[in-house]
Amino acid sequence: MAAYFLCLVLFSIGLYCVLRKRNLIKIVVGLGIIEYAVNLFFALVGYRARGRAPILSADQVISNMVDPIPQALVLTAIVIGLAVTALIVAIAIKIYEKYGTFDITKINKLKG
Amino acid sequence: MQRNVEPGMTLIVKTITRLTVGLILLFGIYIVLHGHLSPGGGFAGGVIIALSFVHLMLAFGKDVALKKLSAGVASLLESFGALMFLSIAVLGYIGGCFFLNFFMNKGLPFHLFSAGIIPLCNIAISLKVGAGLCAIFTALVLLNKTDT
Amino acid sequence: MNTAPLFVIIPLGTAFLVSLVGKYYKRSSDVFSNVACCILLGLSFYTLSIIRNIPTHLLVYKIGGWAPPVGISMVIDSLSVFMLVTVNLIAFLVTVYSVDYMNKYTDKWKFYTLFMLMLTGMNGVIITGDLFNMFVFLEIASIASYALVAFGTESEELEASFKYAVMGSVASSFILLGIAVLYSYTSTLNMADMALSLTAKGPAKILPFVSVLFLMGFGLKAALVPFHAWLPDAHPSAPAPISAMLSGVLIKSLGVYALARILFNVFGVTDVILSILMFLGALSMLVGVFLAVGQWDFKRLLAYHSISQIGYVVLGIGLGSPLGICGGLFHLFNHSIFKSLLFLNSGAIVYSVGTRDLHAMGGLREKMPVTANTSLVASMSIAGIPPFNGFFSKLIIIFACVQSGHFGYAFWAVVGSVLTLASFMKVQRYAFFGALGKKRQDVKEVPLAMQISMAILAVICLVASTLVLPAFSDFVTSAAAVLSGGKEYANLVSGAFK
């Protein structure tokens, strides 16, 4: 139970980074922390008491295993997060070329 | 990078890179091929294969690395990997259902040539992920060079 | 024949085919994309006719032959086919339009690759019957749209795309968190199975928490107030065909459809959720139209009106009564048609004149007759003037409000409609009527392909009002029946699995 609560604390730290930091790259790092926290929460959901890794082996008898579905889903979610991070970092680099700064209070041409 | 006479890192790093790049590539291929027997599979193996290319680029500079795998070839491999995955899925239509495994026999468990279409899908995914990551890294490096 | 996977295979295959050969053969990307969208449109009409003839109005497809809940399933029912027809119709007309429009940008093949990927994601969200599969397709469509908004790589477009990407990713993380909590509670990911399991377990304390998470996540994708802040920056900055797709179908397929499907069919709506939906809908309606009246940038004005009209749709769906849901879904269809037409008009103006500022236009009616007339049709539709389709759908929503006793909401809906009329009269007067400026004497009409797609959309604006007639109203009422049936969906689908 404490593990889940700590995951949500990590999520709120990431959310604070996205909301309050002024540097573009720090916002991207905050986004990474949010994704990390959600993936960790999802992987922890699959834990079963006294379970072992869900891999069948030729010479071992099948005993208690943790749930393998969250592990497969988290793998997909990590790759999706990687793609989003790559895209956002590329956009941030081009923004630096056009505006000359990483400060979001100065990148505000769109108003109204 | 402006004050170095030659691109890349020091001689020690270059020597070690020459030794380890091939091993990293081989390890990545091992993880891809044994995806149905041990942890790993297409995604993780593809990332490790891309890492060998990134290792080369970091140690030797971008010109040497781009001679080995240019941006056009990476883009081509990426599309080819995705189309291979899609065609494996569509071939299942012949058996009656999307993604049905009808043309590879299931084989004996725990052997390398078993588990139907899963190894083929792993290879397709690793091509896509590996080439995709190489292309992303190349694009970011080339982006950096064009502004200053 | 079960056509369900084709809606995902065809655009995905086209995307990667265009990515392979589009760089080398210049016209091939146009040909492939248009042919693929035409095939998809035909397939969606064919699926509509199949669904009509099946007694249970349900098509279930098990991927790989694996039986659910172990395997992933694709479920097409009346609501899905309603959304499929909408999405593929707009996608086909936008691809026809972008054959000429995208000549203004470089690298047309990259545009078509991303466009087809976005279409894959939208179709996938509509036809899937599995919750995590919906999340994956949602992400495919969202990432493609982040890249498409930044397509011109000017400074404003990059800033808008960055804001949109960060906010969209946070929303997707909320959705994933909700899915994780739901999975831990019901230990299944299949939507029908989850609905049955939730009914069996009885009312749970975890459901309000997950509902709020989903409302935040999907509400941001649907641009409900207070999650709307990305839309007025992102939609104007995108190229005009992409603005039409984003405003016309993306916020509906990813936002409103997914939210409605999960809240109505998987959770089962309670009065609390319905009143929250109605309140957010009414708030969006008013905030959108009040902020739109003062805009002088044509596309930014249209983007604020998108927020307002989505407020109408959510208000209609949030009423919960069959008439209300009918009105909401009909307005969803109509809004896709006339909002895409309006954005394509603004693209035509940018193509010929080169500006989006309403002060700098004037008297374009004489030089651009097709654009002016179709924009007049679209403005009358969105303002709710009979006999165009907007009038009927807004009328049904207001009737449903009065019928359920919510007189306050009906009053604010009428106020919103009047203000919409005012702001579109401003657009028409400044852009098309009035005197032609001296610099604008050599403005020409746009090329033929763009004219054809705008004209077809204008004709559909008029023809769609016949959907109210009893002979054709089956299209909307059967879709609404799926939502008001609630958990019936789960029973029908699990019956079809055996």
Q: Each residue of A3-45: pLDDT tens digit? A: 889 999 999 999 999 999 999 999 999 999 999 999 999 999 9
| Cβ-count burial C198-217 (b if 16+ within 10 Å, e if not) | beeeeeeeebeebbebbbbb
Distance between first and last Cα of chain C: 19
- Residue C92: how many CB atoms within 10 A of its CB? 23
What are the residues of chain C with a beta carbon less than 8 Å away from any beta carbon of chain A?
132, 136, 139, 143, 146-147, 150, 153-156, 158-162, 165-166, 169-170, 173, 176-177, 179-180, 183-184, 189, 232-233, 237, 295, 297, 300
| Spatial contact of C416 and C286, defined as CB atoms under 8 Å apart | yes
Position C325: which residue type?
I
- The H or E element that residue C61 is part of is strand C58-62
- Rounded Cα distance, B63 and B70, in Å: 10
pLDDT at B147 over 60: no
Q: What is the pLDDT of residues C192-221, one digit of tens each?
A: 888 888 888 888 888 889 999 999 999 999
- Residue B63: how many CB atoms within 10 A of its CB? 10
- Rounded Cα distance, B51 and C16, in Å: 24
Cα-based distances in Å from C259 to C153, C213, C214, C317, C373: 32, 11, 7, 11, 36
pLDDT at residue C145, rounded to an integer: 93
SS3 state of residue C338: helix
Size of interface B-C (CB pairs under 8 A): 36
pLDDT at residue B139, rounded to an integer: 86
DSSP summary character for residue C130: B
Distance between first and last Cα of chain A: 45
pLDDT at C294 over 70: yes
Chain B residues lying within 8 Å of C64, measured CB to CB:
92, 97-101
- Rounded Cα distance, C498 and C487, in Å: 18
pLDDT at residue B146, rounded to an integer: 58
| Spatial contact of C194 and C266, defined as CB atoms under 8 Å apart | yes
Name the pairing type of β-strands C58-62 and C73-77.
antiparallel
Q: What is the pLDDT of residues C126-136, one digit of tens each?
A: 999 889 999 99
Q: Which residue bears the tokens 């699990």?
A: C494
- Extract the tokens encoding C460: 């559909």
- Residue A42: how many CB atoms within 10 A of its CB? 24
Q: What is the 3-state secondary structure (H, E, C) of chain A?
A: CHHHHHHHHHHHHHHHHHHHCCEHHHHHHHHHHHHHHHHHHHHHHCCCCCCECCCCCCCCCCCCECCCHHHHHHHHHHHHHHHHHHHHHHHHHHHHHHHCCCECCCCCCCCC
- Rounded Cα distance, C327 and C413, in Å: 13
Chain A residues lying within 8 Å of C300, measured CB to CB:
112
Is A75 in contact with B143 (Cβ distance < 8 A)?
A: no
Backbone angles phi, psi at C127, to 5 degrees: -95, -5
Is B144 in contact with A93 (Cβ distance < 8 A)?
A: yes
Size of interface A-B (CB pairs under 8 A): 27
Neighbours of chain B (3+ CB pairs under 8 A): A, C
- Residue A27: how many CB atoms within 10 A of its CB? 21
Cα-based distances in Å from C413 to B43, C260, C328, C333: 50, 21, 13, 18
Cα-based distances in Å from C487 to C198, C216, C462, C493: 10, 23, 35, 10
Chain A residues lying within 8 Å of C295, measured CB to CB:
112
**C95 exposed, middle or buried (CB, 10 Å; 0-12, 13-18, 19+)?**
buried
Strand ranges for C368-495 from DSSP E: none
pLDDT at residue C202, rounded to an integer: 81
From the list C146, C180, C297, the residue facing A42 with the nearest CB is C180
Q: What is the dihedral of CA C92, C98, C99, C102, to 10 degrees?
A: -160
pLDDT at C177 over 90: yes
- The verdict on ipTM greater than 0.85 is yes
Reported confidence tier of residue B42, pLDDT bands at 50, 70, 90: confident
pLDDT at residue A107, rounded to an integer: 80
**C104 exposed, middle or buried (CB, 10 Å; 0-12, 13-18, 19+)?**
middle
Reported confidence tier of residue C498, pLDDT bands at 50, 70, 90: low
Sign of CA dihedral C25, C29, C30, C36: positive
- Rounded Cα distance, C86 and C248, in Å: 9
How far is Cα of residue C85 from the mean position of the Cα atoms in its chain? 11
pLDDT at B111 over 80: no
- Extract the tokens encoding A21: 């930091």
Is B109 in contact with A97 (Cβ distance < 8 A)?
A: no
Question: What average pLDDT does this structure show over C273-294?
Answer: 90
Least confident span in C235-244, C256-265, C431-440, C467-476: C431-440
pLDDT at residue C187, rounded to an integer: 85
- Extract the tokens encoding C473: 């109203």
List for chain C the helix, strand, coil content (%; round to 5): 80, 5, 20
Size of interface A-C (CB pairs under 8 A): 88
The more confidently predicted of residues B46 and C187 is B46
Least confident span in B35-39, B94-98, C147-151, C188-192: B94-98
| Spatial contact of C251 and C223, defined as CB atoms under 8 Å apart | yes
pLDDT at residue B148, rounded to an integer: 43
Question: What average pLDDT does this structure show over C404-431?
Answer: 89
- Extract the tokens encoding A43: 């992987």
Q: What is the pLDDT of residues B89-107, one digit of tens each?
A: 888 766 666 666 655 666 6
pLDDT at residue C357, rounded to an integer: 83
Sign of CA dihedral C320, C321, C322, C327: negative
Window 27-66 of C: residues touching B by CB (8 A cutoff) are 61-65
Position A68: which residue type?
P
Neighbours of chain A (3+ CB pairs under 8 A): B, C
| Spatial contact of C389 and C334, defined as CB atoms under 8 Å apart | yes
Helix residue ranges per DSSP H, B34-98: 42-60, 62-68, 71-95
Pick from C63, C12, C9: nearest CA to B100: C63
SS3 state of residue C118: helix
- Rounded Cα distance, C47 and C54, in Å: 11
Give the range with max mean pLDDT: A104-108, B60-64, C315-319: C315-319
By the CB < 8 Å criterion, does A17 face chain C? no
- Extract the tokens encoding C6: 């084709």
Partners of C60 in the beta sheet?
C75
| Spatial contact of C228 and C196, defined as CB atoms under 8 Å apart | no
Q: What is the pLDDT of residues C320-332, one digit of tens each?
A: 888 889 899 999 9
- Rounded Cα distance, C131 and C243, in Å: 28
So where are chain A's domains?
A: 2-48+65-99
By the CB < 8 Å criterion, does B110 face chain A? yes
pLDDT at residue C83, rounded to an integer: 92
Chain B residues lying within 8 Å of C5, measured CB to CB:
98
pLDDT at residue C162, rounded to an integer: 92
Is C160 in contact with A110 (Cβ distance < 8 A)?
A: yes
Chain A residues lying within 8 Å of C159, measured CB to CB:
95, 99, 107-110
What rounded mean pLDDT belongs to chain C?
88
- Extract the tokens encoding A63: 């005993």
Cα-based distances in Å from C341 to C44, C85, C243, C377, C446: 21, 17, 11, 9, 14
SS3 state of residue C43: helix
Reported confidence tier of residue B5, pLDDT bands at 50, 70, 90: low
By the CB < 8 Å criterion, does A79 face chain C? no
Cα-based distances in Å from C434 to C292, C302, C342: 22, 21, 20
CATH domain A2-48+65-99 topology: Helix Hairpins (1.10.287)
- Residue A80: how many CB atoms within 10 A of its CB? 21
Is C136 in contact with A42 (Cβ distance < 8 A)?
A: no
- For residue B74, give how far its alpha carbon lies from the nearest alpha carbon of chain A (Å): 16
Q: What are the CB-based long-range contacts (under 8 Å, 24+) for C470-478? A: C474/C52, C475/C48, C475/C82, C476/C82, C476/C326, C476/C329, C476/C330, C476/C333, C477/C322, C477/C326, C478/C57, C478/C78, C478/C82
Question: What average pLDDT does this structure show over B38-54?
Answer: 90
- Rounded Cα distance, C67 and C130, in Å: 13
- Rounded Cα distance, A42 and C56, in Å: 36
Reported confidence tier of residue C70, pLDDT bands at 50, 70, 90: confident
| Spatial contact of C461 and C377, defined as CB atoms under 8 Å apart | yes
pLDDT at residue B4, rounded to an integer: 53
